[in-house]
A = this chain, B = another copy of it.
Amino acid sequence: MFSKACEYGIRATLHIARQSQGGHRVSLKDIAGAIDSPVAFTAKILQQLVHANVIHSLKGPHGGFEMTPHQLHNVRLSHIVSAIDGDQIYRGCGLGLKACNELKPCPLHDQFKDVRDKLQLMLETTSVSELAAGLTEGLTFLKQ
């Protein structure tokens, strides 16, 4: 469904959000440990998320990653997914035609569009902070 990079990106953002809600800044190593991901690869993904204004970073001693109150309030899963995987998942044809086209649809268009739109709605309406709350309550987990 999502690329590995995107899965790591979402998990990392959720960990940062949870810690930011508690007033804590987290380092790259902390994050990679918390979500069980390769450190250097995670660094690349976090850079993308900083550029996309999903998270905020600070260099130097006591530096690390955090989310501003504004980011915590506004960021949805859809922002992370489009920053990393692009919008093919929202707009692409399920059978791989160059573009999804209502006027010249593929045989699966109607059925696929229904599922794809449900996915898009879910991603656009789900906020990072609400998911982070479940983590804090100990109801959900970022690794197994």
Q: Which residues of A pack against B, CB within 8 Å?
A: 1-2, 4, 7-8, 10-11, 14, 77, 89, 92, 94-99, 101, 104-109, 111-112, 114-116, 118-119, 122, 126, 131-132, 134-135, 139-144
User: A7 CB to closest chain B CB, in angstroms?
Assistant: 3
Q: How many copies does the complex hold?
A: 2
| Residues of chain B contacted by A119 (CB below 8 angstroms) | 115
Query: Nearest CB to that of A121 among chain B residues?
Result: B115
Kindly name the residue among A101, A108, A141 whose own CB sees the greatest number of chain B CB atoms within 10 A. A108
Q: Are A126 and B104 in contact (CB-based, < 8 A)?
A: no
- Please tell me which one of the listed residues B92, B94, B98 contacts residue A144 in the complex, with CB atoms under 8 A apart: B98
The answer to whether A111 and B99 touch across the interface, beta carbons within 8 angstroms, is: no
